[in-house]
Amino acid sequence: MLLISSCLAGLATRYDGQDNYREEFADLLRQGRAVLVCPEQLGGLPTPRPPAEIVGGSGEDVLEGRAKVMTAAGEDVTAAFVRGAEMTLSTARMVGAECAILKESSPSCGGLRIYDGSFSKTKQPGFGVTAALLRRHGIAVYSEENAGELLQLLKQAE
């Protein structure tokens, strides 16, 4: 079983109320091979919601208390992001997920890079809060950008 970011399967869960639909991920859901998660909603944030970025580091730093997740207006939403990451980990354990395909660049889900906290659309290498927590617990994290090999392995296993 996989976890997949809800927005990648077509649910309007992005911060702006849109989705990032990708047919190949929606197919995994239809086949019963995936469970959808939106860590930000699981953490109690509404949709739509103000955009947020990690300020002062990466998701690992947020988990260690060295960085915060802030909105552009200066609201600290760190607790909601950590709660959402914990709920996502709980979901992964409940369904026996060994890997997750999460939305790249998100402050929750980014698995290769995240926005740098300046709200200037500048990205830096690093993990989002949820991606960092899942990785800490041995769950492989992919994004829509690097999930091709995983999708091939799943197709061969059919």
Domain segments of the chain: what residues? 2-156
Full DSSP string of 60-117: HHHHTTS-EEEETT--B-HHHHHHHHHHHHHHHHHHT--EEEE-TB-TTT-SSEEE-S
Q: What are phi and psi of 17, to 5 degrees?
A: 80, 15
Q: Does the pTM exceed 0.85? A: yes
pLDDT by 10s per residue, the chain, length 158:
999 999 999 999 999 999 999 999 999 999 999 999 999 999 999 999 999 999 999 999 999 999 999 999 999 999 999 999 999 999 999 999 999 999 999 999 999 999 999 999 999 999 999 999 999 999 999 999 999 888 888 888 77
Rounded Cα gap, residues 14 and 156, in angstroms: 31
